[in-house]
């Protein structure tokens, strides 16, 4: 009897400790993601796997949770979206087919090549952001020609494919694309990224991934609460501290993601 009681107490302690760990990982990874415009998967997904959650369960749970991140980040800065609905529709109309296409082809394209491409691109983004001191610090009204609009839509579709096939870094790509194409500052671009990519793209990806692996309800609830509160808190910090904090965080997260994905790619080549 004493042995059974001892085993039960240890089990409860482990379960509580694991639950607290999952929530804290979700909260802090999504706080940084809300400030930089993406990258929650870099911290949250590997941490869930390390805690013993099977890969496909962790991936499906992560995707559903990032929808809560998108909602939390959008609610805090929803006023910034009022004048961006035209751009939002373009991201959804041309990006969602890419997400669906990416979810279908992921099993036919070796992940090591996708990781290699996105890793190199993320590092280049970090270097570009570092070498451009004024990038994204202030908004400007850029005059767009037809070629600019077409190029934007093509890139959105391609990033959508990456979003459907890889979990890390695509929000950062959309953020920098909005800044370069429309002259947005970081705060405007990130708010729009969370509304479109965070909510709609990730929900679409989560639906497809949930067919591959089951989604544990208790883990999903912890991740959703952590993602929503972390997203809201990160958006609040970015609003208070402004574009300089966002730019520094964006550059750091891009570099961190790039190195991480390169390591993943190299390990798969070996």
> In the prediction, which pLDDT does 1 show?
38
Instruction: Identify the band that residue 215 occupies on the pLDDT scale cut at 50, 70 and 90.
Output: low
User: What average pLDDT does range 133-162 have in this prediction?
Assistant: 87
> In the prediction, which pLDDT does 220 show?
82
> In the prediction, which pLDDT does 4 show?
32
Between 49-53, 68-72, 189-193, the lowest mean confidence (pLDDT) is in: 49-53
| 233: CB partners within 8 A, 6+ apart | 27, 31, 34
Q: What percentage of the chain exceeds 90 in pLDDT?
A: 13
Q: What is the per-residue DSSP string for 115-139?
A: HHHHHHHHHHHHHHHHH-TTTTSS-
Prediction pTM value: 0.79
Q: Average per-residue pLDDT in the chain?
A: 79
More confident call, 89 vs 19? 89
Instruction: Identify the band that residue 165 occupies on the pLDDT scale cut at 50, 70 and 90.
Output: confident
More confident call, 81 vs 127? 127
- Closest listed residue to residue 60, CA positions, set 248, 188, 207: 207
Q: Which of 1-10, 46-55, 197-206 has the highest mean pLDDT?
A: 197-206
User: What average pLDDT does range 13-37 have in this prediction?
Assistant: 77
């Amino acid at each position: 009897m004493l042995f059974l009681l001892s085993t039960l107490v240890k089990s409860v302690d482990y379960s509580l400790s694991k639950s607290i760990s999952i929530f804290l990982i979700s909260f802090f990874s999504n706080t940084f993601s809300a400030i930089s415009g993406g990258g929650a998967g870099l911290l949250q997904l590997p941490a869930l796997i390390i805690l013993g959650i099977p890969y496909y369960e962790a991936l499906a749970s992560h995707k559903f949770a990032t929808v809560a991140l998108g909602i939390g980040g959008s609610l805090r800065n929803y006023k910034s979206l009022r004048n961006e609905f035209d751009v939002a529709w373009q991201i959804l109309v041309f990006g969602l087919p890419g997400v669906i296409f990416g979810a279908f082809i992921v099993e036919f394209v070796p992940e090591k090549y996708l990781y290699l491409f996105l890793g190199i691109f993320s590092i280049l983004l970090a270097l570009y952001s570092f070498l451009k001191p004024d990038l994204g610090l202030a908004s400007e009204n850029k005059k767009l020609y037809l070629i600019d609009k077409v190029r934007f839509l093509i890139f959105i579709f391609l990033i959508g494919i990456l979003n459907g096939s890889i979990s890390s870094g695509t929000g950062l790509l959309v953020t920098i694309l909005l800044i370069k194409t429309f002259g947005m500052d970081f705060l405007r671009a990130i708010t729009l990224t969370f509304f479109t990519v965070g909510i709609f793209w990730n929900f679409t990806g989560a639906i497809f991934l949930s067919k591959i692996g089951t989604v544990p309800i208790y883990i999903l609830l912890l991740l959703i609460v952590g993602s929503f509160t972390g997203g809201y808190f990160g958006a609040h910090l970015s609003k208070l501290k402004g574009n300089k904090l966002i730019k520094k965080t964006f550059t750091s997260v891009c570099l961190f993601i790039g190195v991480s994905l390169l390591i993943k790619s190299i390990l798969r080549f070996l």
